Amino acid sequence: MRAFFCRAYGGPEVLELREAETPSPKDDEILVKIVATTVNSGDVRIRGARFPKGMGLIGKLALGISAPRQPVLGTELCGIVVAVGSKVTRFREGDEVFAFPGVKLGCHAEYRTLQENQRVFAKPKNLSFAEAASISFGGSTALHFIRKANLRAGEKILVIGASGAVGSAIVQIANHLGAEVTAVTSTDNVELVRSLGALNVIDYRHENFAASGETYDVIAETTGEHTFADCRNSLKPGGRFLAIAAGVPDMLAMIWSSKLYGKRVIAGPAGESNDLVQQIGEWAEAGILKPVIDRHYRFDQLPEAHAYVDTGRKKGSVIVELAP
């Protein structure tokens, strides 16, 4: 099979397309022929060793000192089951599935094995392979943090970076839960986030949300550009700050923010559980969570997809399609 390998940290040019042995499924595994995958913010952060402020050493200790320990990146996929292990009961050959290996990576390849209970589910019937490949990373991250915040109907939430994969999912899920959503985005994406359920939209190029005097029950910061200190005065008493791309300052603020200000910081890695991915799939099939796709690339163009995500201008997901 073909796979893209990242053997050193750096720009998109470090990615190499190579031949690799097609894996064989173990007794409790399935082998999936990947039809579509994505390049997301997590992939480019790992490839470029661009970790949140103060997290460089921790990031490299976790992922690899001089290069990613798992050289084949890619956190999510959609494809077709082509082989099953002897103990597999949930799937059979020919099933269309989507999956979220997450930090285990390995999706930038033509095939991947998955344990049958490793965050893999039947593809929503109403979604294309590309659409189904795009929902897990942003959707499960969004749902993890919304659950941590215990967002309730009628509460006001500000979503910073509302047009990205995580931000667009937060807007839709928060709207579904009955919250009042204010989205912060660029001029080009105002209509997009309104269509996803944002009641109010702030164009950051023309307006500073922190200077408006408006306060919110929850602020979801998806870009890593604003800290709790920047947003503290925009939170109501008892408010929650979701530091989704948290650096050390916000990790430390988790310890003292509640006692000092009566406002809570929620940070740390997003959970990767079957429950999260299953819920995202069900909402997608019900039309509650709609995939947002910016661009499509061929598999041999994967470095170009990385370069585009590096610009920081993507909307929703960037899809990489393999031959079915």
Distances (CA, A) of 261 to 159, 196, 203, 236: 21, 32, 28, 10
The answer to whether the CB of 41 falls within 8 A of the CB of 124 is no
- Of 73-82, 169-178, 250-259, 271-280, give the lowest mean pLDDT range: 250-259
The answer to whether the CB of 136 falls within 8 A of the CB of 98 is yes
The span from the CA of 198 to the CA of 177, in Å, is 13
The class of domain 138-266 in CATH terms is: alpha beta
Distances (CA, A) of 160 to 11, 97, 166, 171: 26, 32, 10, 10
Q: CB neighbours (10 Å) of residue 244?
A: 26
- Quick: pLDDT tens for 233-272: 999 999 999 999 888 888 888 999 999 999 999 998 898 9
Note the CATH number of domain 2-134+291-321. Answer: 3.90.180.10
- Quick: pLDDT tens for 144-169: 999 999 999 999 999 999 999 999 99
φ/ψ region of 224 (left if φ > 0, alpha if ψ in -120 to 50, else beta) reads left
- Residue 116's pLDDT band, with cuts at 50, 70 and 90, is very high
By DSSP bridging, strand 29-39 and strand 317-321 are: antiparallel
Closest listed residue to residue 284, CA positions, set 172, 118, 141, 166: 172
pTM of the model: 0.95
Q: In the chain, where are the structural domains located? A: 2-134+291-321, 138-266
Decide whether 2-134+291-321 matches 138-266 in CATH topology.
no
Which residue is associated with the tokens 């559980």?
A: 273
- Quick: pLDDT tens for 127-141: 999 999 999 999 999
- Residue 324's pLDDT band, with cuts at 50, 70 and 90, is low
